[in-house]
Structure 1
Amino acid sequence: MTMYAPAQSADGRPLVELREVSRSYGQGGPPALAGVDLRVAAGECLAVLGPSGSGKSTLLHLIAGLDRPTGGSVTVDGLRVDRLGEAASARYRRSRIGLVFQFFQLLDDLTVVDNVLLPAQLAGLPRAEARRRAAELLERLGIARYAGTHPGRLSGGERQRVAVARALMNRPALLLADEPTGALDSAAGDGVRELLAGLNADGQTIVLVTHDLRLAAACATRTVELVDGRVVRDAGVAA
């Protein structure tokens, strides 16, 4: 087993399962999601594509437990995420998923290594074990030399690598990425595409939402397209 991938269940269940999921915001307009059925197997890298307003970010937020569906069910790693209270949702995000955002969301007053250590500290991982894990991740992601540096002194691509290391700290079953190349220039974007493809090749399950067709082509094993809150296409990249 690689340093990235968590243990995967062998019972054949999908790692992520959405059944008839809808999300409305009560403003009289069309729903953000309308009856979405979606399954993601362990080891897949799923890219969710679609125009702005199609429901991509809503879908990601529901899987992350940051929002709740109006109807339907969301199950991740055997857990009914849509039924969790606030405290249980926070525990779920600490233990089962990693989140990567477009604008990194690093704490500029902490060093790189301290940013990466945060999830382990919140989860109560022993300090020595957490520091070993952080050092492994920083080395493997090519940013070990920046361990004592503050994020504001790094390039966009380097900061996104720090964000990925932080997301992987607790060996999540699922990595969620929201437009991970959206704030990067072409060269930095290429580096993050290669990084995510490598993580998936090592066994990490990934769901990402993106406008970046190059990202989908580089690392997705399957793509889903949303339009007006509905799945209009579900195919492997080669299809």
Structure 2
Amino acid sequence: MHQVIELDGVAKRYDRVGAPALGPLTLSVAEGEALAVTGPSGSGKSTLLNLVAGLDRPTDGAVIVAGRRIDRLSERGLAEFRREYIGMVFQFFNLLDDLTVTDNIQLPARLTGTSRRKAAARAEELMETLGILKHASAYPGRLSGGERQRVAVARALINRPALLLADEPTGALDTASGRDVRDLLTDLHRAGQTVVLVTHDMALAKACASRTVHLVDGRVAQDFDAQAAR
């Protein structure tokens, strides 16, 4: 099976003393897999996600995403790679409040050179699928938390990324909105989207993930098939 993520002997240090913040670890994620990364605060979850996203570079080891050795790319190369191959969803949405919903969603496509017509058509398709088409002309500040997270997911998917990364996607939501986003991520995985989800919410991990990796002190303490555990 094709591997979307391959981490080979990866470690990250932020200072020269003490243990590394992450690793060393070797980890792979297959195409179509939904991986939940769990663990206590300070366990290395965010560091792992940042390395896979190319937002940080490892101290040691190789980070390969969608067949590219991204830790060797230039900053410009990383930015271009992220726009084309990676979609990111954040806890606090990271939407631009002065842009409409449809303009927020289209932005990554426009940055990759997609024509306005094609970007608009793809955005409309996603808004309809995610149940937010009626908000196309609204501004993010007028939406509920769950609706804003759906906009963020649409924006992350507009370039049809090989990999969707979600960092505590329900952390800022109420219970009902959190369930909606959980169901959305589950549906995306069932449709074949490769997902890496960082979360403290074990119910979210159990519902959405086909596999769970539990980190403790920067190391993999558990790696198990979540579906087999159900």
RMSD, matched Cα = 0.8
Percent of paired sites with the same residue: 64
Counterpart check, 1:150 vs 2:139: yes
Corresponding position: 1:168 with 2:152: no
Is it true that 1:98 corresponds to 2:87 in the alignment?
A: yes
Q: Do structure 1's residue 138 and structure 2's residue 127 form an aligned pair?
A: yes
Instruction: Give the residue type in structure 1 aligned to 2:64.
Output: T
Matched residue type, 1:189: G
Task: Encode CA deviations 1:39-90: one digit per residue, 9 max, x unaligned.
Answer: 1000000000000000000000000000000000010110001111100000
Corresponding residue for 2:77?
A: 88
Residue aligned with 1:117, SS: helix
Alignment of 1:33-182 (within 5 A): 33-182=22-171
Unaligned runs of 5+ in 2: none
Structure 2 match to 1:23? 12
Q: Which one-letter code corresponds to 2:213 in the other structure?
A: V
Superposition deviation, residue 30 in structure 1 = 2.4
Q: Secondary structure at the match of 2:3?
A: coil
Aligned-partner SS, 1:47: strand
Structure 2 CA distance, aligned partners of 1:99 and 1:169? 11
Distance in 2 between residues matched to 1:126 and 1:26, nearest whole Å: 45
SS at match of 1:15: strand
1:8 corresponds to which residue? none
Distance in 2, matches of 1:81 and 1:102, equals 24
**TM-score normalised per structure 1:** 0.94
Q: Which residue of 2 aligns with 1:4?
A: none
Structure 1: runs of 5 or more not aligned:
1-11
TM-score (norm 2): 0.98
Separation in 1 of the partners of 2:16 and 2:9? 21
CA distance in 2 between counterparts of 1:128 and 1:86 reads: 29
